[in-house]
Amino acid sequence: MSLFPLFLKLTARPCLVVGAGAIAEGKIAALLESEATVTVVAPQADPRVEEWAASGEITLLRREYQTSDVEGMFLVVAGTNVPPVNRAVYAAATERGILCNAVDDPPYCDFYFPSIVRRGELQIAISTAGESPAFAQQLRKELNEQLPKDLGPWLMELGRLRREVTAVEPLGEPRKMLLHQLAKREVCGAQDCPTRMIAREHMASIKRVS
Ligand SMILES: C[C@@]1(CC(=O)O)C2=NC(=C\c3[nH]c(c(CCC(=O)O)c3CC(=O)O)Cc3[nH]c(c(CC(=O)O)c3CCC(=O)O)/C=C3\N/C(=C\2)[C@@H](CCC(=O)O)[C@]3(C)CC(=O)O)/[C@H]1CCC(=O)O
Ligand SMILES: NC(=O)c1ccc[n+]([C@@H]2O[C@H](COP(=O)([O-])OP(=O)(O)OC[C@H]3O[C@@H](n4cnc5c(N)ncnc54)[C@H](O)[C@@H]3O)[C@@H](O)[C@H]2O)c1
């Protein structure tokens, strides 16, 4: 199987989660993290899901799933403990061209959830295409140990600097080389790192000329 990897922008997109137990809860958390507009349908909800509903972060429909729930959704996750329900959700979504994941049920998934290592805006998503979720999880833990803890703030600063550079330096080889220099973590950890100084001087000289 050859899966297509991508990172979705879900901000304000309507997403449905069917089920509100332990497994659904993790999916809801991930969707909220991506600023999706989340609707959850389940007769029984775990406490954390109830809290999200009470604080208005999600819409919780306290009843059994019905086919019309998938209408207008951008993405659907079927995470009940009743496989036939999850499969019916998948069928309803598929009929309408909506992407769906029936948790832990590969034939009823248009996409799989990856294992994620995260540092701020940096995300490393691991997929084994379902060959071994346990290995995906172990690799996540290994990478998490190895990656510096402060990569998130460092990347934000790098992004800021990159925007400064791209605002004044036109597309081309010198700009590309400069950006590669800046992206070298070893030399650019500190504010006074030499490459940053070079970048700032370079930009200042461009401003002086123009
Ligand atoms: C990555 C992660 C993300 C997440 O779930 O968000 C994820 N599973 C995780 C953990 C995990 N899942 C399972 C175990 C027990 C050990 C084992 O089986 O290996 C463990 C480990 C544990 O829990 O210790 C059981 C399991 N999982 C699937 C099946 C069905 C089957 O294999 O047929 C069964 C058997 C169920 C049964 O026995 O009935 C299927 C899927 N699980 C996937 C994702 C998708 C493929 C991902 C990939 O490999 O690329 C896929 C295809 C569909 C999907 O659900 O999206 C998350 C780790 C997050 C983290 O901690 O970082
Ligand atoms: N909990 C785990 O650690 C774990 C691990 C691997 C796989 N799974 C699998 O994931 C699935 C979900 O597990 P869980 O632990 O979250 O279950 P759970 O029992 O905690 O929650 C099930 C949820 O589904 C809802 N539900 C049941 N019927 C429904 C219907 N017709 N319409 C809408 N909602 C309905 C329930 O109200 C509840 O909110 C199961 O298939 C389970 O085998 C669970």
Q: Are residues 87 and 130 in the same domain?
A: no
**Residue 209 pLDDT greater than 70, yes or no:** no
**pLDDT tens for each residue of 73-103:** 999 999 999 999 999 999 999 999 999 999 9
**pLDDT tens for each residue of 25-66:** 999 999 999 999 999 999 999 999 999 999 999 999 999 999
ipTM score of complex: 0.93
Q: CA-CA distance, 192 to 199, in Å (whole number)?
A: 11
Of 97, 113, 129, the residue at which a domain comes to its end is 113
Please name every residue paired with 119 in a beta bridge, in sequence order, or none if there are none.
122
Q: Are residues 16 and 98 in the same domain?
A: yes
**pLDDT tens for each residue of 129-179:** 999 999 999 999 999 999 999 999 999 999 999 999 999 988 999 999 999
Q: CA-CA distance, 48 to 185, in Å (whole number)?
A: 38
Q: Among 16, 17, 23, 67, which residue has the most ligand 2 atoms within 8 Å of its CB, making it the best to mutate?
A: 23
The pTM of the full predicted model, rounded to 2 decimals, is 0.91
Q: CA-CA distance, 154 to 137, in Å (whole number)?
A: 25
Q: How many domains does the chain have?
A: 3
Task: Look up the domain containing 2 and give its range.
Answer: 1-113
Q: What CATH number does residue 93 fall under?
A: 3.40.50.720
Q: Which ligand is nearest to the CA of 77?
A: 1
Q: Are residues 32 and 134 in the same domain?
A: no
Atom number, ligand 1, closest to the C-alpha of residue 135: 19
Residue-level pLDDT at 186: 67
